[in-house]
Amino acid sequence: MNIFPIIRFVIRGESMAPYFPNGKRVLVNRLSYFFRKPKRGDVVIVRDPRDKRRELLKRIVAVSSEKVGETVLRKDEYFIRGDNESSSTDSRVFGPVTKNLIVGKATFPPEADQPQAGTP
């Protein structure tokens, strides 16, 4: 069991390309949603509802109480999609995910080869 609030995640696949390409590392803040709810546009790591050992990187496109097609999302339900929809298995396939499947919010770490602000 990992006890650290910030973990690294390596992207596998092209479902979030081009912004989150295969092999890229992201940081995942597992405490992001302890004090606030996920919101539309957040990029998250979620446990695959079909295989909870597998984790997916996806974007939240609809939140609780919003309508997706003919379905209104229930409390703590989220509709997630990959940015590269032609290569993504997401809520269009397995339906909405519940908040308890969201591992945390993903962000890119600062790149070691990029200059930091204020440096030449």
Catalytic residue among 58, 88, 91, 105: 58
Mean pLDDT score across all residues of the chain? 89
Q: How much is the pLDDT for 4?
A: 81
Give the up-direction half-sphere exposure of residue 66: CA atoms within 13 A in the CB hemisphere: 14
Q: Which helix (H) or strand (E) holds 47?
A: strand 43-48
DSSP bridge pairs for 81: 59
Q: How much is the pLDDT for 3?
A: 76
| Catalytic residue list contains 67 | no
**pLDDT reading at 113 higher than 60:** no
Percent above pLDDT 70 for the chain: 88
Its pTM stands at 0.86
Catalytic residue among 15, 32, 88, 91: 15
CATH of 24-107, one of 2.10.109.10, 1.10.150.120, 3.40.50.720, 3.40.228.10: 2.10.109.10
How do the residues of the chain divide into helix, strand and coil, expressed in percent and rounded to 5? 10, 40, 55
Tell me which residue of 94, 86, 105 sits closest to 30, measured CA to CA: 105
The mean pLDDT value for 82-92 works out to: 96
Tokens of 106: 């993903």
Q: Is the dihedral of CA 49, 51, 53, 58 positive or negative?
A: negative
| Catalytic residue list contains 15 | yes
pLDDT in tens, 14-48: 999 998 999 999 999 999 999 899 999 999 999 99
Q: Domain boundaries in the chain?
A: 24-107
Q: How much is the pLDDT for 27?
A: 93
